[in-house]
Amino acid sequence: MRPAQDETVGSLADELAALRRIDRDRVFAILMPILVLAAAIGGWEAVVRLRDIPPYVLPAPSRIAITLVADWPTLSRSLWVTLRITFEALLAAVVGGIALALAFTRSKWIERSFFPFAVAMQVTPIVAIAPLLLIYLEPETAVLVCAFVVAFFPILSNTALGLASAEHNLVDLFDLYGATPQQQLLRLRLPSALPYFLGGLRIGGGLALIGAIVAEIAAGSAGQGAGLAFRIVESGYRLNIPRMFAALLLISLTGILIFGLFTLISYWSLRHWHDSARRREL
Amino acid sequence: MARRQASSDTPIVALRSVGKSFASGIRALAGFDLEVIEREFVTLLGPSGCGKSTVLRMIAGLTEPTHGTIQWAGPRPEIGFVFQEPTLMPWANVFNNVFLPLRLRGSGREQARPAIAEALQLVGLTGFESAYPRELSGGMKMRVSIARALVLKPKLLLMDEPFAALDEITRFKLNNDLLKIQCDLRNTVVFVTHSVYESVYLSTRIAVMAARPGRVIETIRVEEPMPRGEEFRSSRLYTEICRATSQALHSAMSPGDEL
C-alpha cells in the first residue's frame, strides 16, 4: 500500500514541477528580450551621459523619446504618408500578383511571355530604378510604383507556385466529379495556394515599406507628401539627429507592425489545417 | 458453392484487349481483359508497377487507353474513387470533405445533409462532422475518404490500395466494415491491392496480374458467401485460396522482377 501511495504523491509532485517549468519557460521567453532591450537602452543612455556626448553626434534615448513627443504632429503626418503609400502599393501588388498568377495558370504562353519581365523587375535594385521613375512620374506616384515593384514579385511567384501545387489526386477527384474550371479554381486551387500566398504577402509587406522608403529618399520630396524617409533626410541636413532617430524608430515600428499583422492573419487563416500554424506535439 | 445470382452475370463494364503506352515508351498494359459483373467484388492483385492503378484510372475515365476498348452496359454509372492516400482537403472539415462531390454537382448544403449523415454513418464517423483531417488518425481519414466516395451512392466503387498505408489491426477492421458496406449498398467494387490475404478475404474474384506489360494471367474465384466475418480468416478454404493465389502471383513474377 505504502509504496503505491508514495508513487502517486511523487507523480503529482512531478507533474506540478513540470507545470511550473512550463510557466517559467514562458515567463523567460517574454522577459528575456525585454531585459536585453532595457539593458541596451540603459547602457546607451549611460554612455551618452557619462561621456557627455552632444546630441548632434549621438542623442540619448531619453532625448529621442522627448523629440518623438514634441515633433509628433510633423512625424505622425509623415508616418501616415508612409503607411498609406506602403499599403496602397501592397494592395496593388496583391491584386496584380494574384491576377497575373491566375493568368499564368491559365496559359503557359502567358507565363513564358511575362515571367522574364517580372524577374527583371525583381532583380534590378529599386534604388537604381527610382531616379528614372522620378523623371517620368510625379514624386508621390513614383514612390508608389517603386514600393509596388518590390512587393509585387514575391506575391506573384508565391501565388503562382501555390496555384500549381494542388494535390494531383485531388485534381483527379475534381475531374471525376466533372468539376467546372471555376469550381476547380475556387474549391481547390485557391485554397491550396493560400499558405503560399500568405508567405508572399508577409515578404511583400516588408518589401513594400522598404521600397517606399528607398524611393522617398531618392525623391527627396517635401511638403504635404513628405513621408518618414524624407524626415530622416531633412533632419540630417539640419543636424537634427534626435529627430532622425525618432523617424527611424517609427519606420522600424511600422515594419514590425506590418510583419506582426500578416503573421497574425496567416496564423488565423491557417490554424485549422496548415503545419506552419500548428504547434508540434512533443 | 453455387454461382451467384444469374441476373448479375451481365458485365457492367468490360475492358477488351486494353493497352496503355506512355509517351516515354513504357508499356504499362497490353492485352488486358477484364469483365466486371454487377455486385461483384473484383480485386486486381499484382506486383508493383503492373499497371493496376492505370486500370482503375481508365475505368474512372481519368485516362484513356491507347489500345482496345472499354464497354459499358449502359451510360457510364456513378463512380466512387478511393485513392491510396486519404486525399482529403486539409482546409475543410469532415462534413465539407464528404460534401464535396455533392457540392460539385450543384447541391446545396441543407439539401446534402441527409446524404452526408448517411455516408458518415456507414463508415462509423457520425459526430466527427466538424473535425479537421489533421485531427484524425490514418484509419479515420481513410474512412472519411470512403464516405466521400459513397456519398453519391455510386453503382461502382473503385479503390486503389486504400488500406496499404494502415497498420494491420486497422486494416482488418476496415476490411470487415467495407464488406458490410458493400452488403448494405449492393454495389460493385473493383479493388486494387498487393496483399494476397486482403484480396482473398474481400473478393468474390481475384484477377492476378503480371507486370511489364501489365495483363491478367489468372483469375481465381473465392466461393465463400457474403457477408464474411473473422471466422473466414481462419478457415481452411481461406488458407487454400491464399496458397493458390500466392502461387499464381509468384508465377506472375518473372525472375527479373524479384527485386
Residue among A63, A111, A93 nearest A210 (CA): A93
**Hey, where are the domains in chain A?**
1-52, 61-277
pTM: 0.82
CB contact under 8 A, B100 and A177: yes
pLDDT band at A196 (very low <50, low <70, confident <90, very high): very high
Average pLDDT along chain A:
88
Using 50, 70 and 90 to split pLDDT, how confident is the model at B259? very low
Do B163 and B174 meet the contact criterion of CB atoms below 8 Å apart?
Answer: yes
- Spatial contact of B191 and B27, defined as CB atoms under 8 Å apart: no
- Report the candidate in B12, B11, B13, B15 with the shortest Cα–Cα distance to residue B69: B15
The Cα A97–Cα B62 span in angstroms is: 32
Q: What is the pLDDT of residues A106-154, one digit of tens each?
A: 888 988 898 888 888 888 888 888 888 888 988 888 899 999 999 999 9
Which of the four pLDDT bands, split at 50, 70 and 90, describes residue B56? Answer: very high
CA of A204: how far to CAs of A115, A122, A156, in Å? 17, 12, 10
Q: Which residue of B has its CA nearest to A179?
A: B104
Pick from A175-179, B187-191, B245-249: least confident: B245-249
Q: Is the pLDDT of residue B236 over 60?
A: yes
Query: B136 pLDDT band (50/70/90 cuts)?
Result: very high
- B contacts of A172 (beta carbons < 8 Å): 57, 60, 62, 81, 83
Residues in B touching A278 (Cβ below 8 Å): 134
Please report the ipTM that was assigned to this predicted complex: 0.87
Query: Which residues have C-beta within 8 Å of that of residue A229, sequence separation ≥ 6?
Result: A82, A212, A213, A214, A216, A217, A247, A251
Residue count of chain A, please give it. Answer: 282
Closest chain A residue to B79 measured between Cα atoms?
A176
| B213 within 8 A of B204, measured Cβ to Cβ | no
Any idea which of A63-67, A193-197, B28-32, B54-58 has the lowest mean pLDDT?
Answer: B28-32
pLDDT of residue A152: 92
Q: What are the φ/ψ torsions at residue B139 (nearest 5 degrees)?
A: -65, -40
A280 in B contact zone (CB under 8 Å): no
For residue range A6-38, list pLDDT tens digits in order.
555 667 777 777 777 777 788 888 889 899 999
Any B CB within 8 A of A171 CB: no
- What was the pLDDT predicted at A9? 60
> One-letter amino acid identity for A155?
I
CB contact under 8 A, B100 and A178: no
Do residues B50 and B211 make contact, with C-beta atoms less than 8 angstroms apart?
A: yes
Residue A3's pLDDT is: 46
Output the pLDDT for position B253: 75
Give which of B110, B79, B78, B85 is closest to B95, Cα–Cα. Answer: B110
**pLDDT at residue A189 in the model:** 94
Give the best residue of B54, B100, B145 to mutate against chain A (max A CB count within 10 A).
B100
Q: Do A173 and B100 make contact, defined as CB atoms within 8 angstroms?
A: yes
Q: How many angstroms separate the CA of residue A103 from the nearest CA in chain B?
A: 23
**pLDDT level of residue B144 (50, 70, 90 thresholds):** very high
Q: Is the pLDDT of residue B255 over 60?
A: no
Q: What Rg do the C-alpha atoms of chain B give, in angstroms?
A: 18
Distance CA A204, CA A191 (A): 20
The mean pLDDT value of chain B amounts to 87
**Cα end-to-end span (Å), chain A:** 33
pLDDT tier, A2 (very low <50, low <70, confident <90, very high otherwise): very low
A178 closest CB neighbour out of B91, B104, B132: B104
Does A4 have pLDDT greater than 60? no
* Strand-pair category, B205-210 with B41-45: parallel
Query: Domain A61-277 belongs to what topology?
Result: MetI-like fold (1.10.3720)
Q: What is the pLDDT of residue A67?
A: 94
> With contact defined as beta carbons under 8 Å apart, do A220 and A230 qualify?
yes
Read off the C-alpha cell for B186. 449492393
Nearest CA in chain B to A185: B104
Say whether pLDDT at B6 is over 50. no
Tell me which residues of chain B have a C-beta less than 8 Å from any C-beta of chain A.
57, 60-62, 79, 81, 83, 85, 87, 89-93, 100-101, 103-105, 132-134, 152
Output the pLDDT for position B213. Answer: 84
- Contact between B133 and A273 using a beta-carbon 8 Å cutoff: yes
Residue of chain A with shortest Cα separation from B96: A187
Q: Which residue of B has its CA nearest to A167?
A: B87
Cβ atoms of A205 and B91 closer than 8 Å: no
Shortest distance, CA A282 to any CA of chain B (angstroms): 15
- Give me the residues paired with residue B34 across strands: B15
Of A95-109, A267-281, B113-127, where does mean pLDDT reach its minimum?
Answer: A267-281
Q: What is the pLDDT of residue A198?
A: 94
**Residue B258 in this model has a pLDDT that exceeds 50:** no
pLDDT digits 0-9 by tens, B160-219: 999 988 888 888 888 888 888 888 888 899 999 988 888 988 899 999 898 888 888 888
Among A220-224, B112-116, B125-129, B227-231, which stretch is predicted with the lowest mean pLDDT? A220-224
- For chain A, the 3-state helix, strand and coil shares in percent, each to the nearest 5, are 85, 0, 15
